[in-house]
Each structure stands twice: as structure tokens, then as C-alpha cells.
Structure 1
Amino acid sequence: MWTPGRGTRLWRGALAGLVIAALSAPVSAAARQAVPAPAPAMLPVLSTSTLKTRYAANRANILQAARMADKGGYHRRAAALRAMAGSTRTFLSFDARGEGRAVEVLGDLATARRISVLVPGSDTTLDTYDAHTPKPHARLGWAARSLKEQIRRLDPAAKVAVVAWLGYAPPRLTSTDAVTTGRAEDGARALRAFVASVRRANAAAQVSLLCHSYGSVVCGRAAAGLAVADIAMFGSPGAGVETAAGLGTAARVWAGRGARDWIGGVPHLSLPVLGTTIGLGADPVSGGFGARPFAAGDGGHGGHGGHGGHGGHGDYLAPGSASVANLARIALGHDREVTR
């Protein structure tokens, strides 16, 4: 636990203000009408022999969810769901209820020699998953596709699968959940179970966790003893521990932050405020944390071959960025090629 001094009183006040302001978020969220949705499909245990069955069952469930959303007047959600049910897309699990859960596989999970699990941060929902925005690569579905394409560019023959893992309920950025570890604890349990199921299905593959923003808190909570080769944290508000050694993992631990990422201005500390602990611990890119640094964008105007700029909080998986190139190298296990 970091002990605050006189210089942190302003941050304490700011954090207290955030707590008070965010107390209304659960009320407003509860007031929203839920989109009609079916229960998730009944799925067989994950194995190489059940992949096609799971993919087909989830595709049918997504289409059923789209019909229910259309009937209820939620036409934008319905259109997004129909796109997710496309013939080239494969979901290991799916749940359209509430803000949703979705675990999508890009590549062949059965034959992959390396599997990279992309763990998203705050404000990730079914409605944002594939959203068309000025920066679509900031959305989980687009980010996973960008990473897969970068891996293909670096090593066309590599047998790598990318998993877009919306397997927990990320917090809203404006809620108190975003500055505490509660959602991360729930997410970590789900992530540990998912990694274990993937390793049972493909024991030969090495697994890496690529963890964005609040997703790095989830990965930090899940890391102890988890059988993964690499854990990469980027745009992290803190990993929930003070040092990489505190993660309790034998994996290579990486950390990167873009030059224009606003998260760098967030205090990386833990403070007792109004009966709870606010803050997510030490900064993973700090020298004292002990992670391996990787270049994540200098805020310039772009470039070629992964050496360009970008550098904002939503830019880590942007095509042509330094960060997506380095994350692809980590996914491939090419750790000596990662630029610092």
C-alpha cells in the first residue's frame, strides 16, 4: 500500500469527488430498459472436437438475439448482432443479455501453436464491440482483427489464434468500479477458468494475455500461477500490485504506454476514501515495477511497418502503430524483436 503525503491531498479530494459523482451511475444504469435477449446456448465442454458445435450453436443464438432485438425496436443492436453472426466469425461463447458477453476466436484454436487472449478495459459492451467510430481499432472486435492481420504480416506461416475475450463485465469509465478492483476480481476468476479450458483443449499451445486499460487489472488479479507465457499490459491504470514480482507469475511481463495516453496522468496509487480503497496500484511502465518495456507510440503522425506514432489510449491496436507491431511480436513469441 502506498502511503500518501501532503502532496497527494489534491488527488485524494479529486478521487473522493469521483466516488461521489459516480454513485449515481448504477442508478441510471438500472433505469435503462434491457434489450430483449435469449438465454445463452447450451454448449458442450470446450475441446478440439466440439469447436464446430460451439461455433454453430452460438451463431444460432446470436441470430435469435438479433430477431428479439429487432422485435423490441432495438434495430441498431439487431444489425450489430447480425454482423456478428456472419459465416466467417466464430464465437466460443456468447450472451446477449444486459451489456453482453462474447468470446470470439480469430484463427484455428485447435492447431494454433500460440494463442493470444485480448482482455479489454472499461466501457466494452456488445454495443461497442464492433462499433464504427473514427478510431474503430479502439473497439474489441476491430482490435482483435487488427492484431491478427499484423501477426499475419510479420509471419504469414505462424499458427497463432487471437481471442477477443469479453468474458467479464468491464466497468463504466465514469463509475467507482473503474477505480477499484471489484470488477477485476470477478473478471480474473472468469479469465483463469477460460485459460484453463483453452489449455485443456490445446495443451501444446502457449498462451499470452494482452491486457488493455482496466483489462490489465483483470490480468494482474488472474496472473498468480496461471500457465501463460506472456502478460502484456498497455494503457494500464495499475495492475493491482506494486511490482511485477507481486503478480506471482513465471510469465514474461510487458508494459507499454503511448506518449499521448491520458492514463499517464492518472495517479497510480491506492487510497482509503469513504470506507473503500480507491486506486489500482503502481504504474506498470515505471522502472520500479519491473516489467519489460515496449514501444507503444510516440504521438507522431504515423509511419510504416509498425514504427509510426499514434500514442493515444485507444491507439494500441491501430494498424501501422508501434504498439500493434510489438504486441504482435509478443503474441508470436518473438520477444527479442520487441522494440523498446
Structure 2
Amino acid sequence: MPRARTTAAALSLVAVGAALPAARSAEPYAAPAPVPALSSATLGARYQAAGRDIRRALATAERLHDGDRTRVLSAFLAPGRRFLAFDPRGDGRAVEVIGDLEHADRIAVVVPGADNTLADFDAPKFAGGDGRALYGAGRAVAPGPRLAVIAWLGYDSPSTLSAAVLTDGKAQDGARGLERLLAGVHRVNGRARFALLCHSYGSVVCAKAARRVASLPVDDIAFFGSPGTTKDKAADLGTSARIWAARAKGDWMRFVPNVRLAGIGFGADPVSPAFGALRFDAGTGPHSGYLKPGSPALRNLTMIALGRPAEVTRA
């Protein structure tokens, strides 16, 4: 589809979305209990509070015969799983820690894109599934507590069928939440270095957060399957972190026009040479397959997460 026609279609979608009345229904799930700010002294309390909120939400799901929520929340309560934050309202939010947050040398934050909800958190290609795949690959390369992973569904991920996915509004809110997370985790573990691994719309979130977290030890920011970042060049992100970018050959995102008009669209393609990112090999997989076990993309994202840039296969 020519670029002008694609842009016109996007504008039409926004107009239609704005005209639709908002669905209103009573929220059956209770808000999470207040929690202390994240720090080394409050880490245990945060894990306990999230666990209590998950158990309360599970009781509600069972009472409502909400099968999807019952299934996923039961899995959240499995021994050894720990969450820094949890909110069952709406599509839900969850922030899971995989590994030893207090003693890790490197902490990778998986920032998901559109269509992420509590119901699919644990599935492959979504925040929790991708987080576990990354942690497993990291442990295979560097056994021990060196790497911890945070699967961060900490913002209201837009639906690909909504007008919100065409603008950076959700990303602005997400960037503020990501800044709070990194600041808190830095108080928990002041030695660790961070890598942000940002898929699809999540790359817009990370781009909006980059300047906000520039004072924190963020060494690497990777955009993969990205529609753009709203910036023209990597240098415009306002960070000293290494900026990485990749797109798999089977990713449909290559057909999305890199335009930004009246706040719609996300601008320059991060994998274009002009953007100035370090490009890495993402293989031939689909848009949802970057962290698939055994894939070139997962291998390279693992090396980025571990802070081993010399071992990343360049594109």
C-alpha cells in the first residue's frame, strides 16, 4: 500500500476510534494494596504484598468463573515466583522478577509491546514467557546469579486494534513507570548494570524513558520489531547507553511506514543506517518470535543482556 494511503488509513482509524463510545462496566477486581517505595529494605515486603494481591484476585476470579484469570493467577502463585507489583484491574499489570535481583551483576528488563495482558503473561512471545526464555538462555551462557530478568508488564499495553497503538500516549505513561522501576531496582542493587530489551511498541516506551533514566546505570537499550521511536536518530534519545536495533526478515513490521504526522506514527526506522543504532542479526522469524529458544535473535539479545557486545552477531 502506498505510504500516503497507509497514513490516510491510520488517520481514519484514529477518527473511528475517537468516535466510538467507551464501554463502561463495574470493575470486579480490587485495586492493589498500597506498598512502600522499592528499596533493599522493602524488597521482601513488596514480594509479599504482590503475593497477597494475587491471592485476593484469584479468589475473585474463581468466584466470577473467570477461567483465564484463574489459570494465570494460579500459575503466578507457584513456589519460587516473585512479583514486585501486580494489579488485576482492566487488562492487568504484573512485574515479575526472575533470578536474584539483589546479587545480579546485570539486570535485563523485558519491555513488551501491544496486546500484552495478564491473561497471556506466561505465554511465549509475551512478557513473562519472553522473560523466562531470556533468563534460561542467560543461565546457559553464564551460570550463577550474574543475570536477573524483570518481565515488566508495568504499563497499559495498547491493543493493535485500537487507535492508541498509533500514538505515543501509552508510551509516555509507560516511560514514567519504567523510570520508577529502574530507580527502585537501583536502590535494591546499586552495583548492577541495566539492559532494556524493547519489543515492538515497547521500543516507543523505552525511547521515551531513555533520557529520564540517563543518570542510572543503563548500558544497553535494544529495539527489536520496532515501529519507530519518535526520534530521528539514536543520538536524539539523550542517553549514553549503547543503542541496538534489529528486525527479523519475517517480521510484518517491515511493511509499516515510518512516518510521523500530527502525533500519529513513530518516525524513523531504528534499523536504518541513518538512525545510527548498532544493528544485530535477528534471523528470519516472525514479529512475535524474537525470544524464541534457539533463535539468533534470542542469542544476541542474551549477549546484550549480559553486557557482552563483542559477542553480538551484527547485521
Query: Is TM more than 0.5 here?
Result: yes
2:288 to 293, 314, 339: 314
Question: In the alignment, what sits opposite 2:13?
Answer: 18
Q: Secondary structure at the match of 1:61?
A: helix
Letter in 1 for 2:186: R
The answer for the alignment partner of 2:66 in structure 1 is 74
Give yes or no for contact 1:35–1:74 (8 Å, CA) kept in 2. Answer: no
Q: Which residue of 1 aligns with 2:96?
A: 104
The answer on 1:171 being equivalent to 2:145 is no
Q: Secondary structure at the match of 2:161?
A: coil
> Per-residue deviation at 1:21?
4.1
Q: What is the deviation of 1:9?
A: 2.5
Look up the equivalent residue of 1:284 and give its one-letter code. P
Does the alignment pair 1:152 with 2:139? yes
Secondary structure in 1 matching 2:275:
coil
Letter aligned with residue 293 of structure 1: R
Number of corresponding residues: 310
Return the letter of the residue paired with 1:323: A
Q: Tell me the residue number matched to 2:29.
A: 37
Residue 208 to residue 312, structure 1, CA distance change in 2 (3 Å): same
Report the 3-state secondary structure (helix = DSSP H, G, I; strand = E; otherwise coil) of the residue aligned with 1:217.
helix
Q: Please say if 1:295 is aligned against 2:269.
A: no
Q: Return the offset for 1:26.
A: 6.4
1:125 aligns with 2:117: yes
User: Do the aligned partners of 2:47 and 2:83 also contact (CA within 8 Å) in 1?
Assistant: yes
Q: CA 1:34/1:143 → structure 2, altered by over 3 Å: closer, same or farther?
A: farther
Quote the offset at 1:256 in angstroms: 0.7
CA distance in 1, matches of 2:229, 2:20: 24
Single out whichever of 70-79 and 237-246 deviates more from structure 2.
70-79
1:158 deviates by 5.2
**3-state SS in 2 of match to 1:336:** helix
1:263-304 Cα distance to aligned partner (Å, 9 max, x none): 1110011123xxxx2111111001000000011112xxxxxx
Q: Aligned to 1:60, which of 16, 41, 52? A: 52
Alignment-mate amino acid for residue 94 of structure 1: F
Partner SS state of residue 202, structure 2: helix
The answer for the alignment partner of 2:307 in structure 1 is 333
Shift in alpha-carbon separation, 1:24–1:77, aligned structure 2, 3 A: farther
**RMSD of aligned Cα (Å):** 1.6
Gaps of 5+ in 1: 1-6, 131-135, 299-310
Match of 1:303 in 2: none
Distance (whole Å) between structure 1 residues aligned to residue 141 and residue 290 of structure 2: 17
Secondary structure of the residue aligned to 2:124 is helix
Q: What is the identity, as a one-letter code, of the residue corresponding to 1:258? A: A
Contact 2:244 2:277 in 1 (8 A): yes
Deviation at 1:42? 3.0
2:107 corresponds to which residue? 115
Deviates further, 286-295 or 75-84: 75-84
How many angstroms apart in 1 are the aligned matches of 2:177 and 2:21?
22
CA distance, structure 2, for counterparts of residue 226 and residue 215 of structure 1: 21
Q: Which runs of 5+ in 2 are unaligned?
A: none
Deviations 1:145-201 (A, max 9, x none): 000000011111351110011111011111111111111111111111111111122
Shift of 1:105: 0.2
Decide whether the 8 Å contact of 1:120 with 1:214 is kept in 2: yes
In the alignment, residue 55 of structure 1 is paired with which amino acid?
Y
State the match for 1:257 in structure 2: 247
TM-score normalised by length of structure 2: 0.94
Secondary structure at the aligned position of 2:235 is classed as helix
Higher mean alpha-carbon deviation, 17-26 vs 178-187, is at 17-26
Counterpart CA distance in 1 for 2:75 and 2:21 is 30
Shift of the alpha carbon at 1:226? 4.6
Q: Which runs of 4+ in 1 moved over 6 A?
A: none
Q: Does 1:212 align with 2:186?
A: no
Question: How far apart, in 1, do the equivalents of 2:112 and 2:63 lie?
Answer: 30
Q: Is 2:223 aligned against 1:233?
A: yes
